[in-house]
Homo-oligomer: A and B are copies of this chain.
Amino acid sequence: MTKRRIYDFGPNGADGSKELKALLGGKGANLAEMARLGLPVPPGFTVTTEVCRVFLARNGGMPDGLETEIDAALARLEITAGARLGDPAKPLLLSVRSGAQASMPGMMDTVLDLGLNDRTVAGLARLHGDRFAQDCHRRFVALYGSIVLGVGAERDPFQTLLDDLKRRRSVATDAELAAADLAALVQTSKDLIRMRTGKEVPEDPREQLRCAIQAVFRSWTKPRAVAYRRIEHIPDDWGTAATVQAMVFGNRGEDSSTGVLFSRDPTDGKPRLTGEFLPGAQGEDVVAGLRTPLPLSELNRRSPAIYRALSEVAQRLEHEFRDLMDVEFTVERGTLYVLQCRSAKRTGLASLRAAVDMVAERLLTREEAVLRVPADALAHLLRPIFDAPARAAALDQGRLLARGLPAGPGAASGSVALTPREAEARAQRGERVILVRSETSPEDIRGMYAAEGLLTARGGLTSHAALVARQMGKVAVVGCAALSIDADALTASFATAQGLRVLREGDWLSLDGLTGEVIAGDLPTVPSEVLQVLVEGTRRLDEAPAAQLFVRLLSWADSFRRLSVRANADQPEQAAAALALGAEGIGLCRTEHMFFGAGKIEPMREMILAHSEAERRAALDKLLPLQRSDFVRIFRAMRGKPVVVRTLDPPLHEFLPKDDAAIAALAATLGCTSLEVRRRTQELAETNPMLGLRGCRLGILYPEVTRMQARAIFEAACVVEDEGLRVRPEVMIPLVGSRAELEQQLDLVRATAQAVCAERGHKLTWLLGTMIETPRAALVAGDLAHSADFFSFGTNDLTQLTMGLSRDDAGPIVRAYLERGIWKTDPFASIDTAGVGELVRLGAAHGRAARPALELGVCGEHGGDPRSIEFFEEAGLDYVSCSPLRVPIARLAAAQAALRAGTAKRITPPRRLGVSPDETYVPALEARTAEVPHARS
């Protein structure tokens, strides 16, 4: 035997351990570990993932000699278990279960009660009673039929047989069925299998075992497993292990039961035993949810000794695995068996609390705690959420209208507005509004800003609506296919299973930006505690335990991370929020959003429609003081931290009105005809606006625009510095492709800055730089670096151009590509490291080669994505910039990336944000033992 292919475990210890996860799968490795710890694990053995890989590669052929090895392992197991497979006198029953390196709950298959045939059923009946034997038999036949022989793709037909039988017998539960009923059910099930597949359930238990192991291996390639791996980024070539284990029975009467236990509460992370159990049942009954389980407190009442034993198991496992654990157990006639344990799925809050508490408990180091909390989980702590009971009631009432893509986390309710104008008007009347649109454009900004939430029929997670929503922290559900809007009738219709539901402006609607649910009516929300403390200042940190945990973990993260984190913000309130959430500057201030404010869009439009440079200058003269005052407020808010201001970027036609009334109003202002406004708008229209007259091209064709913006920036800097604050403006030119373009624009900016300084007798310091967002810019970055103090990778546009895919049009393509497995991830959500990432690497390398002190940042949406941040750490960038609400996530992700890459800083005393979190938060350790467990729904 060259390489071990089977690993035993049982009361005498185990061949494997939790370190062998890749080989034994999570289930097999943890069973081995528990056996090593002396926990009561039924004996068994695990066939490795390596065997599965060979099996799949051979298209369903087992490796040579494996059969013999399985026979030998079975023989050892029979000795340990004191029973033999197929022995009518004392039949050994087996479970055959899957288990991959990563947890894929419910995705793959399990066969239970294996080893039963007509002869062993009789033997089992003699030992434990007829009813029990028949119950096991019907379970086995059903599982074997569906999993090994592939009966019933859509619904479980065996469940239907069982339900029919219960109806005929007029009983509510399985337990009420007699042995004869169950025996008959076995027969009907066998008939069904024969009818559907032409095959028989083999009588030979070894044949059963062989086929069950192969079925478990095959289940790795089932569509739902493949789809799950796509979503969870699990490689297709890992394969699953198969664990063969002696059955224990929670269905042997009232002193038997089966249950699930969490070592801490997976909802809030508090250190109390949590879980539920079902007397007289097998494990699958809990999972299937057919009977309502009882809370663990009930087990404590019924069998305090078992409860104590379980509590010890939980503590032992937490100590060994140093994690919040999820444990499956079975009690057979008063004897406790542990069947499985794994790291528990938990909410963001639970993840955070468990990690922080475990540091206090000395189970984890700070580094480990920082690595343990998924960065995205922090988002849970930042968004208002719907009151859970109210939501459930609404769903019961049939108020669910549709599901879309969850694009802006949080919960929002408001009255429907179908135009930005209406949204603004309602908001000004003090109403809460949900803006419902086919899709949004920059013109809609004010309406979006006014609304509580956004719902769009089209566009994906990186559509304009989604992008703006995230930056603004708005709740958003996008790409809601069931929604269609009739602009004339002013209705929003939802195609539901119950038919078309038509909403009008003013009707109430609720959006859940976490689940994508669109619910009719008003649902109450709960604001996030963390934001109340850190941003709104309406709550004290010492009274806010979640915020304490949040602050503490991030203080540890900050002590490790190398990457700086800045925010994308173009409003003073956003800037202030970003600062409160730990931003170290503004990495992207989009000046175009400023033009949509009241009184600004009009001169902007005059500027665009000007017939001459003189007219254009006149309009710009009106814009200058408005833009300057915006910068003044942002610079003030940022209190000396760097602010990267990007000059005008979007195509001009985005600023022009589209509806008749607005066109007429504009024509009146300009003293021309509506026709003329329309004609000019038409002239500005482009086939591919993304690839047209925008970015620095605007500034090159209309240098006076760049000059006005530069003047506004530097005059504002002077104003704020006169107030005694420092200002560090970094002016950034967008969509640059060549050094000549960059130089042309920077010359204008430089000259204007010098002029302003001269006029005001002021000394300012500033940086001048460029976006790297066209592939060409990355390719000629060495050249650009000669003219730039900094680069900021605009990975949104860089992704669009590198892939030749517009975010606005990507929806159906992204969906299809993810479904078909052509992409593992949405490249707009996580950076495409092989393509776009290669350009980032090239750009960084060329840039640094030409100018070693070059500052390198990222300001695309990827700046707030943990997987992308890991890449940016490896690429050696200086900072990432993201929307304010993602700043904490980026801070944590940056720390994790640094720890993984080995570039983490030494630990420094955590003294950020004016609090010393270590003194504030007291872990609720005392609650650990005295806790009264309570049921989970």
**B686, B693, B813: the one within 8 Å of A693 (CB):** B813
Q: How far is the CB of A683 from chain B (nearest CB, A)?
A: 9
Residue of B nearest to A441 (CB): B687
Q: How far is the CB of A804 from chain B (nearest CB, A)?
A: 4
**B783, B803, B816, B834: the one within 8 Å of A774 (CB):** B803
B779 and A835: CB pair below 8 A?
yes
B820 and A779: CB pair below 8 A?
no
B687 and A809: CB pair below 8 A?
yes
A691 and B688: CB pair below 8 A?
yes
In the complex, A821 has a CB within 8 A of chain B: yes
- Which among A688, A800, A802 has the highest number of chain B CB atoms within 10 Å? A688
Residue of B nearest to A824 (CB): B740
CA distance A839 to B737 in the complex (A): 14
A688: chain B residues at CB < 8 Å are 688-691, 806, 808-809
In the complex, A529 has a CB within 8 A of chain B: no
In the complex, A692 has a CB within 8 A of chain B: yes
- Give A779-809 as 1s and 0s: 1 = Cβ < 8 Å from B's Cβ atoms: 1100100000000000001001111111011
Using known A-B contacts A803-B737, A817-B700, determine if residue A776 contacts B808 with beta carbons closer than 8 Å. no
Using known A-B contacts A691-B809, A802-B801, A809-B687, determine if residue A701 contacts B816 with beta carbons closer than 8 Å. yes
CA distance A503 to B158 in the complex (A): 79
In the complex, A563 has a CB within 8 A of chain B: no
B822 and A740: CB pair below 8 A?
yes
In the complex, A832 has a CB within 8 A of chain B: yes
A832: chain B residues at CB < 8 Å are 776
**B697, B797, B800, B806: the one within 8 Å of A686 (CB):** B806
Q: How far is the CB of A670 from chain B (nearest CB, A)?
A: 21
In the complex, A838 has a CB within 8 A of chain B: yes
**B687, B797, B804: the one within 8 Å of A808 (CB):** B687
A836 and B776: CB pair below 8 A?
yes
In the complex, A812 has a CB within 8 A of chain B: yes
In the complex, A775 has a CB within 8 A of chain B: yes
CA distance A774 to B804 in the complex (A): 6
B-facing residues in A695-751 (Cβ within 8 Å): 695, 697, 700-701, 735, 737-738, 740-741, 744
Q: How far is the CB of A73 from chain B (nearest CB, A)?
A: 39
**B691, B808, B823, B839: the one within 8 Å of A800 (CB):** B691
B801 and A697: CB pair below 8 A?
no
Residue of B nearest to A463 (CB): B687
Q: How far is the CB of A740 from chain B (nearest CB, A)?
A: 4
A809 and B693: CB pair below 8 A?
yes
A808 and B686: CB pair below 8 A?
yes
Ordered by A's residue number, 19 sampled pairs between the chains whose C-beta atoms are within 8 Å are A687-B689, A687-B690, A688-B691, A691-B800, A691-B806, A691-B809, A695-B804, A697-B816, A700-B820, A700-B822, A701-B816, A737-B805, A740-B821, A744-B820, A744-B822, A776-B803, A776-B832, A776-B836, A801-B804
9 A-B pairs besides A690-B806, A701-B816, A738-B823 with CB distance below 8 A are: A686-B806, A686-B808, A688-B688, A691-B804, A744-B822, A775-B775, A775-B801, A779-B838, A780-B838
Q: Lowest 6 A-B CB distances belong to which pairs? A: A691-B806, A776-B835, A692-B809, A688-B806, A687-B808, A775-B775
